[in-house]
Amino acid sequence: MPNESATQEMTDGFHLVIDALKLNGIDTIYGLPGIPITDLTRMAQAEGIRVISFRHEQNAGNAAAIAGFLTQKPGICLTVSAPGFLNGLTALANATTNCFPMILISGSSEREIVDLQQGDYEEMDQLAIAKPLCKAAYRVLHAEDIGVGIARAIRSAVSGRPGGVYLDMPAKLFSQTMEAQAGKRSLIKVVDAAPRQIPAPDSVQRALTLLKDAKRPLILLGKGAAYAQADASIRALVEKSGIPYLPMSMAKGLLPDNHAQSASAARSYVLAEADVVLLVGARLNWLLSHGKGKTWGGDKAKDRKFIQIDIAPTEMDSNVAIAAPLVGDIGSCVSALVDGMGANWAKAPADWTSAVYERRDKNVVKMAETLSKNPPVMNFHSALAAIREIVKANPEAVLVNEGANTLDFTRSIVDMYQPRKRLDVGTWGIMGIGMGYAVAAAVVTGKPVIAIEGDSAFGFSGMEVETICRYKLPVCVIVFNNNGVYRGTDVNPSGGADVAPTVFVKGARYDVMMEAFGGVGVNATTPAELSKALKEAIASGKPTLINAVIDETAGTESGRITSLNPQTAAQKK
């Protein structure tokens, strides 16, 4: 009789990780190879997973995070131990802060050596370090636990409030073998990873009562609403209620920015005046001035009532009292409100809505006047006036945006027309998301990507233009080059030879970077040149970098948030 175990088919840790990911519909890994995960990247590619290899782990991590936002499936970032892990960690923390589902999988050293601190190659107690910076962190020590480890990571990333998960995989795990059939049985296909969370009927009623009695209601849509993919219900809520709405930055396009009920161009007015505010997947954090103070009309705040839809119950009352908390998933909560409104719901009072739209229309006319100017040196407005028309003509394109002035002006000037098309610096206002987000947006959507980047912002992830060229992605990077952080005009106060801390090499040619890797580079000094180059990039789908030369005196320090600089804040007091 042949020895049965000798003929048994075997599998190993590498293949179990790959099979577990595939079983759960994960088709892409964003990462950077090296010991101990190089073979994992090779085998994953061989097994039909798309492996997008980056030049720095932070960019791979940012790519995974935004893939999670776009698809509701956790984006996977794969790194080597200690330094690679740490490089990925910023992205993991940023994903968690923004409520994007991602899983950082890092190879690590053997526990025996790490725990005795014996100085292994790239030794670090990664699990302990990751834990406070993400939603959940797990380690898998045995091949037969890989299925459970990946299932737990997926569930933790996408259920409830989405976030980042760390999964620690010591090198030895990958080469462990087990019998193939048993291996297969050990894998878990996660069922209903993000279950619907139906709001309690009395909480729906409480919210409807407040809305019904409102004299000056407002709906605020946040990136949670964009993530939820409840686009039709959200539109139904807005249109049936007749309430003006404001989109937060990444919720732009959830309803087209030219929608009749958009209050974007009357933002200060509606925030100060509204008496009932319905928050849909938006936190009352710094981006909304914590729900109080001058932005919210000062004294008027005492009469204002908030209704908040959020999946995280502890978000309620985090900054101000929430009169009607509606805890559940956005799709279920919004549908419950729409159903509860019945057939005869009275639309928002006309005196309020007409006051809002009158202000908005006036501001739109004013902005159009500014945009129609063509100053001798291209500035943010004249450049964006050209870009906004091209975005309008290509509503399926994804817009990635970072910088200070570049961010603020693009957000207010460039209208979005489809959901989840605007990806930006998010909750932290972090620089460095640009190329990672652009790569993933192109990989996930297959649509053109336009990345509008401040020259400083671009520098944080600029090396990934090689990645964009290598994978031949339809990404057009536009660098708003004004020679420095914020502006390029600062001088060294000491009179010394060094330039000021905010100043870069003047007249730098970022377009040549793209040419170095076989892409298209264009130096644009006028809106017409910029417009032509962007149109060509979209038509050809070729990796392109447009160095848009911007007046170095334009814009302000820190953009719209100058007041947060300690010096400015002190002077104001």
Question: Contact between 69 and ligand ADP (CB under 6 A)?
Answer: no
- What is the distance between the alpha carbons of residues 411 and 492, in angstroms, rounded to a whole number? 32
Q: Among residues 287, 364, 499, 500, which is the contact residue for ligand ADP, using CB under 6 A?
A: 287
Partner from ligand TPW, ligand ADP, none contacting 31, C-beta within 5 to 8 A by type:
none
Q: Is 263 exposed, middle or buried (0-12, 13-18, 19+ CB in 10 A)?
A: buried
- Given a contact cutoff of 8 angstroms between Cβ atoms, the answer to whether 554 and 504 are in contact is no
Q: Looking at beta carbons, which residue is closest to ligand TPW?
A: 454
Question: Contact between 407 and ligand ADP (CB under 6 A)?
Answer: no
Q: Tally the residues of the chain.
A: 573
Binding mask 256-295 for ligand TPW (x = CB under 6 A): ----------------------------------------
Question: Contact between 311 and ligand ADP (CB under 6 A)?
Answer: yes
Looking at residues 421 to 460 of the shown chain, list those that interact with ligand ADP (rule: CB under 6 A).
427
Looking at residues 114 to 143 of the shown chain, list those that interact with ligand ADP (rule: CB under 6 A).
none
Q: Looking at beta carbons, which residue is closest to ligand ADP?
A: 224
Residues in CB range of 482: below 8 A, 6 or more apart: 454, 455, 488, 550, 551, 552, 554, 555
Number of amino acids touching ligand ADP (CB under 6 A): 24
Residue 71: C-alpha distances to residues 194, 334, 336, 443, 513 (Å): 13, 20, 24, 12, 31
Element (H, E) at 16: helix 13-23
Please report the DSSP string for 113-170 in residue order.
HHHTT---TT---HHHHHGGGSSEEEE--SGGGHHHHHHHHHHHHHSSS--EEEEEEE
Partner from ligand TPW, ligand ADP, none contacting 311, C-beta within 5 to 8 A by type:
ligand ADP
User: Which tokens in the block code for residue 121?
Assistant: 């190659």
Q: Among residues 104, 246, 254, 282, which is the contact residue for ligand ADP, using CB under 6 A?
A: 282
Nearer to ligand TPW among residue 29 and residue 546 (C-beta): 546
Instruction: Quote the radius of gyration of the chain (alpha carbons, Å).
Output: 25
Question: Contact between 161 and ligand ADP (CB under 6 A)?
Answer: yes
Question: Contact between 555 and ligand TPW (CB under 6 A)?
Answer: yes
Nearer to ligand TPW among residue 79 and residue 410 (C-beta): 410
User: Which tokens in the block code for residue 20?
Assistant: 């577990």
- Given a contact cutoff of 8 angstroms between Cβ atoms, the answer to whether 500 and 489 are in contact is no
Partner from ligand TPW, ligand ADP, none contacting 251, C-beta within 5 to 8 A by type:
ligand ADP
Supply the minimum distance, in Å, between the C-beta of residue 454 and ligand TPW. 2
Question: Contact between 157 and ligand ADP (CB under 6 A)?
Answer: no
Partner from ligand ADP, ligand TPW, none contacting 153, C-beta within 5 to 8 A by type:
none
User: Cα(first)–Cα(last) distance of the chain, in Å?
Assistant: 90
Supply the minimum distance, in Å, between the C-beta of residue 408 and ligand TPW. 8
Residues in CB range of 366: below 8 A, 6 or more apart: none
- Given a contact cutoff of 8 angstroms between Cβ atoms, the answer to whether 24 and 190 are in contact is yes
Question: Contact between 21 and ligand ADP (CB under 6 A)?
Answer: no
Question: Contact between 329 and ligand ADP (CB under 6 A)?
Answer: yes
- Segment lying near ligand ADP (by CB under 6 A), choices 63-71, 218-226, 388-396, 405-413: 218-226
Q: Among residues 310, 315, 415, 455, which is the contact residue for ligand TPW, using CB under 6 A?
A: 455
Residue with tokens 């480890």: 149
Nearer to ligand TPW among residue 297 and residue 555 (C-beta): 555
Nearer to ligand TPW among residue 11 and residue 483 (C-beta): 483
- Segment lying near ligand TPW (by CB under 6 A), choices 245-253, 385-393, 425-433, 441-449: 425-433
Question: Contact between 436 and ligand TPW (CB under 6 A)?
Answer: no
Supply the minimum distance, in Å, between the C-beta of residue 162 and ligand ADP. 6
Question: Contact between 485 and ligand TPW (CB under 6 A)?
Answer: yes
- Given a contact cutoff of 8 angstroms between Cβ atoms, the answer to whether 31 and 37 are in contact is yes
Question: Contact between 269 and ligand ADP (CB under 6 A)?
Answer: no
- What is the distance between the alpha carbons of residues 26 and 49, in angstroms, rounded to a whole number? 8
Looking at residues 221 to 250 of the shown chain, list those that interact with ligand ADP (rule: CB under 6 A).
222-224, 227-228, 248, 250
Question: Contact between 457 and ligand TPW (CB under 6 A)?
Answer: yes
Measure the CA dihedral 421/471/446/16, to 10°: -100
Question: Contact between 281 and ligand ADP (CB under 6 A)?
Answer: yes
Question: Contact between 456 and ligand TPW (CB under 6 A)?
Answer: yes
Residue with tokens 């017409």: 528
- Bridge partners of 79, per DSSP, are 106
- What is the distance between the alpha carbons of residues 67 and 402, in angstroms, rounded to a whole number? 17
Nearer to ligand ADP among residue 94 and residue 467 (C-beta): 94
Number of C-beta neighbours around residue 558 at 10 A: 17
Nearer to ligand ADP among residue 187 and residue 311 (C-beta): 311
Question: Contact between 70 and ligand ADP (CB under 6 A)?
Answer: no
- What is the distance between the alpha carbons of residues 232 and 483, in angstroms, rounded to a whole number? 44
Binding mask 8-37 for ligand TPW (x = CB under 6 A): ------------------------------
- Given a contact cutoff of 8 angstroms between Cβ atoms, the answer to whether 47 and 41 are in contact is no
Nearer to ligand ADP among residue 151 and residue 221 (C-beta): 221
Nearer to ligand ADP among residue 69 and residue 460 (C-beta): 69
User: Which tokens in the block code for residue 290?
Assistant: 């914590």
Partner from ligand ADP, ligand TPW, none contacting 285, C-beta within 5 to 8 A by type:
ligand ADP
- What is the distance between the alpha carbons of residues 413 and 452, in angstroms, rounded to a whole number? 12
For the stretch 516-519, contacts whose Cβ atoms lie closer than 8 Å and that sit 24 or more positions apart, written own/partner, are 517/465, 517/466, 517/469, 517/470, 517/543, 518/469, 518/543, 519/465, 519/468, 519/469, 519/543, 519/544, 519/545
User: Which residues contribute to the site for ligand TPW (CB under 6 A)?
Assistant: 403-406, 429-432, 454-457, 480, 482, 485-486, 555, 559
User: Which residues contribute to the site for ligand ADP (CB under 6 A)?
Assistant: 98-99, 161-162, 222-224, 227-228, 248, 250-251, 281-283, 285, 287, 310-312, 315, 329-330, 427
